[in-house]
Amino acid sequence: MSEDRTDLDDLTLSRARRGDRDAFRALVERYERPVFALLGRMLFRAGRESLVEDLAQETFVRVFRGLPTFGADGRSNVSAWILTIAARLAIDELRRQQPWLESLDARTIGVASPAATDEPSDRLRIAAAIERAVAQLGPEYRAAFLLREVHDMDYESIAEALRVDIGTVKSRLSRARAALRRALQGTYDER
Amino acid sequence: MSDERKRRDDWASLVGAWPAPAPRPGFADRVLAACDLPPPVQLAIVREPPPRRLGASGILVCAAIAAALVLLPFALHRRQPPPVSAANVVTLGNSFDLGPEHD
Residue A165: CATH number of its domain: 1.10.10.10
Q: Are residues A142 and A65 in the same domain?
A: no
**ipTM, two decimals:** 0.72
The yes-or-no verdict on residue A170 having pLDDT over 90 is yes
Give yes or no: residues A171 and A116 share one domain: yes
C-alpha to C-alpha distances, A187 to A78, A81, A124, A160, nearest whole angstrom: 37, 35, 11, 34
| Whether A84 and A43 share a structural domain | yes
Q: How many angstroms away from the CA of B46 is the closest CA of chain A? A: 25
pLDDT of residue A44: 76
- End-of-domain residue from the set A42, A64, A97: A97
pLDDT tens, B21-70? Answer: 889 999 999 999 998 876 666 666 666 666 666 667 778 888 888 888 88
Over the range B20-47, which residues count as b (16 or more CB within 10 Å of their CB) and which as e?
bbebeeebbebbbeebebeeeeeeeeee
In sequence order, the 6+-apart residues with CB closer than 8 A to the CB of A88 are A161
- Is residue A24 over pLDDT 90? yes
Number of domains in chain A: 2
Q: Which of A97, A123, A156 is where one domain is finished?
A: A97
Of the residues A82, A97, A112, the one at which a domain ends: A97
Per residue in A41-100, pLDDT tens? Answer: 888 766 667 889 999 999 999 999 999 888 777 777 899 999 999 999 999 988 887 654
| Domain, as residue range, for A83 | 1-97
* The pLDDT value given to residue A104: 38
Q: Read off the CATH number of the domain in which A14 is found.
A: 1.10.1740.10
What distance in Å separates the CA atoms of residue A84 and residue A69, rounded to the nearest whole number?
16
CA-nearest residue to B9 within chain A is A1
A42 and A92 fall within a common domain: yes
- For residues A66 and A132, membership in a common domain is answered with no
B12 closest CB neighbour out of A36, A57, A150: A150
Give the nearest partner residue to A130 out of B14, B37, B38, using CB atoms: B14
Residues A106 and A189 in one domain: yes
Kindly determine whether residue B35 and residue A61, on different chains, have CB atoms separated by under 8 Å.
Answer: yes
